[in-house]
Structure 1
Amino acid sequence: MKESHVLDEIDRALVHALHLDGRAPFARIAAVLDVSTQTVARRYRKLRAEAGLRVVGLVDPAKAGLAQWMVRLSAVPRAAQDLAQALARREDTSWVKLASGGTEIVAIVHAPQTLLLREIPRTAGVTAVSAHYVLHLYLGGPTAWRGRARTLDAEQQRALAPTDLPDREVDGSRGLPSPADEPLLAALRRDGRVPLAELADATGWSPATVARRLAELRASRALFFDVEIDNTLFGAATQALLWMSVTPAHLDEVARELARHDELAFVAATTGPSNLVAQALCPDPAALHHYLTHRLGALEAIRTLETAPVLRTVKAAGPLLPAAPRAGNLNRPPAPPSWGS
């Protein structure tokens, strides 16, 4: 996005609306925002072209039988960016970030087993590797960062709640992803707003069957839609990963408290010496310092805190577009997901 561009109220409302329902028709969003459908469509196209806006359809890893690992790699400066790009090109990674002066890479790996961890140590330039199993997600995934989701009022939010879902949550295996869903899910990972007709072509199903399957997956919470966009447009010019060690007896209490903080976009309990990790989004370094010293500093159960400034997000939730050519050891296609039964 050009530096001179500032998101106005309509832009912010559109992003908030997409967080509520990533597949909401433009006409429905327009009616809630009291603007024309053409205005919403034009703003959406502009934000896609200039701000990296993208809606992506994602499967809940727990519903798909996949583990989530946060992998931290330290690398020599000349290798760090190439390594981050190589990780980003893999289909089993998301949230690839360059941190700590550009010599640390942090990635989330979704896999039935951590095959990746046996490949990384043999990669030139890597000086250290640690892996942290994500035990519980307190904030993130289908829950939007509040900095992007505070434009619409309660009545508008109710009007934009998904309307095409079953009256009750789908139970049993019918609501879980299966190998037959992979063409549908692959298309939604690239673009969560793909029209039903295109999804029908991708799957070989009828549009009615696609719509019904989408509704089942969403109702079971196996499928959710996330929004990618440049967070600096919402005032988050300073970002950092926070690695905390919390006394086990107070871990859940502290994590739930952190999940209510407007400065945080991600909070998860993990294994390892740092058993709680968060992502902070702040306007500037002074605001981050104030948050660390006043809000986190007031929580006595946090025994240690490591702050790793994020320089760049190489990959967000969805796959890289367009797909980069694969090369090298780290770019071997991962094993197919082991879907839950």
Structure 2
Amino acid sequence: MTPDPFDELDRGLLHALQLDARAPFRRLAEVLGVSDQTVARRYARLRERSALRVIALSHPSRTREVQWLLRVRAVPSAAGEVAEALARRTDTSWVTLCAGGTEIECTVYGEDVGPLLLEALPRTRQVIDVEAFEVLHVFYGGAGFPYAKRGSLRPDQVAELRRHVPEPEPGDKPVTLDAADRRLLEELRTDGRAPIEYLAATCELSTPTVRRRLRSLLHTGAISFDVDADPMLLDLPARAMLRLAVTPSELDAAGRALADHAEVAFVAATTGSTSLFAAIGSDSLAGLYRYLTTDIASLSGVTAVNLAPTLRTIKAATTHYRVG
């Protein structure tokens, strides 16, 4: 059996960053009960190994971006190549190989996804079939709800970190991002913990302006911070993509119920042949089976269930993992 490459401090640091991604090392150290230097070294090591990466995400409903979920079927010999091509695009995230390695799931977002859906993919010879599901409503996950359901921190540690995080204003009021906001977001998508001084220099803005703009982007809910993490660091080796067909009268209740489940990292209502999509994870295949036959089985209005096991993550929210 392969030894676990991550220890309790690694997982504690991940949980802390999921709660307050830009917390100073001093605060993280106080919560974790170690020195500032230990936290800084551990963070640098995990980031260098691509095991952990703090990123900023834009909230599609606030920034008027369209979000699609794609299911692409490719010939077995070319699925990895197609997945790599999708991962290299700047408008994709969460590119995964599923269902025996011939199915690719990914998220596409932006103001115009037409060229990819109508031109690039249909013209790719190795692609057998494409299904596109437009996201109608996100119940949990993404920029609206950074994932922090699982973790090793005690309730008092969680409370200490959360009290420093500003609450975004409620609702889905649209926010217009200007060129400076988009440049700031671009830098924070690369490194969500980039120092204010670095952001000011790179974006050619004053330090007070960067602080003000970042505070406004967080307060309006236009962006939030999350963590790309190695599935082994999350301690969720068994992962899958779940699609449910739900009767319209039960759709909202089912989506809200899924949002509360510890196994669910993302759940949204979509267009298409199924009406709910969820990214789920467990510590084992047996755990996934129990979840499917208990929590999912108890949902009202479900008429069909499709579960596709995740074989490999090619790209997380922004982190690109090379195949082979």
Match of 2:306 in 1: 306
Match of 2:162 in 1: 161
User: Offset of 1:263 from its aligned partner?
Assistant: 1.4
What does the per-residue CA deviation read over 1:81-129, in whole Å, with 9 as the maximum and x for residues that have no partner?
Answer: 1111111111111111111111111111102232210121111111111
Counterparts of 1:135 and 1:45 in 2: how far apart (Å)? 38
Match of 2:190 in 1: 190
SS at match of 2:260: coil
| Structure 1 residues without counterparts, runs of 5 or longer | 323-341
User: Offset of 1:179 from its aligned partner?
Assistant: 2.2
* Pair 1:27-2:29 in alignment: no
Q: 1:3 to 1:175 in 2, by over 3 A?
A: farther
What does the per-residue CA deviation read over 1:37-57, in whole Å, with 9 as the maximum and x for residues that have no partner?
Answer: 011111111222335200001
Q: 1:18 to 1:182 in 2, by over 3 A?
A: same
Counterparts of 2:174 and 2:258 in 1: how far apart (Å)? 35
* Pair 1:128-2:116 in alignment: no
Is the CA contact 2:61–2:172 (under 8 Å) kept in the aligned structure 1?
no
Match of 1:84 in 2: 83
User: Offset of 1:300 from its aligned partner?
Assistant: 3.9
User: Offset of 1:260 from its aligned partner?
Assistant: 1.3
Counterpart amino acid of residue 140 in structure 1: G
Q: 1:199 to 1:321 in 2, by over 3 A?
A: farther
Match of 1:94 in 2: 93
Q: 1:176 to 1:23 in 2, by over 3 A?
A: farther
- CA RMSD, 1 decimal: 2.5
Match of 2:212 in 1: 212
TM-score normalised by structure 1 residue count: 0.86
Match of 1:66 in 2: 65
SS at match of 1:227: strand
Q: 1:62 to 1:147 in 2, by over 3 A?
A: closer
Kindly tell me the number of residue pairs found equivalent between the two proteins: 319
Match of 2:281 in 1: 281
User: Offset of 1:174 from its aligned partner?
Assistant: 11
Match of 1:222 in 2: 222
Counterparts of 2:109 and 2:216 in 1: how far apart (Å)? 23
Counterparts of 1:45 and 1:229 in 2: how far apart (Å)? 14
* Pair 1:239-2:239 in alignment: yes
Counterparts of 2:72 and 2:196 in 1: how far apart (Å)? 40
| Structure 2 residues without counterparts, runs of 5 or longer | none
User: Offset of 1:305 from its aligned partner?
Assistant: 0.4
SS at match of 1:109: strand
* Pair 1:292-2:313 in alignment: no
Larger mean CA deviation between 19-28 and 41-50 belongs to 41-50
Counterpart amino acid of residue 106 in structure 2: A
Counterparts of 2:62 and 2:180 in 1: how far apart (Å)? 15
Match of 1:271 in 2: 271
Is the CA contact 1:240–1:279 (under 8 Å) kept in the aligned structure 2?
yes
- The sequence identity of aligned pairs, in percent, is 44
Q: 5 Å matches for 1:244-263?
A: 244-263=244-263
Match of 1:140 in 2: 141
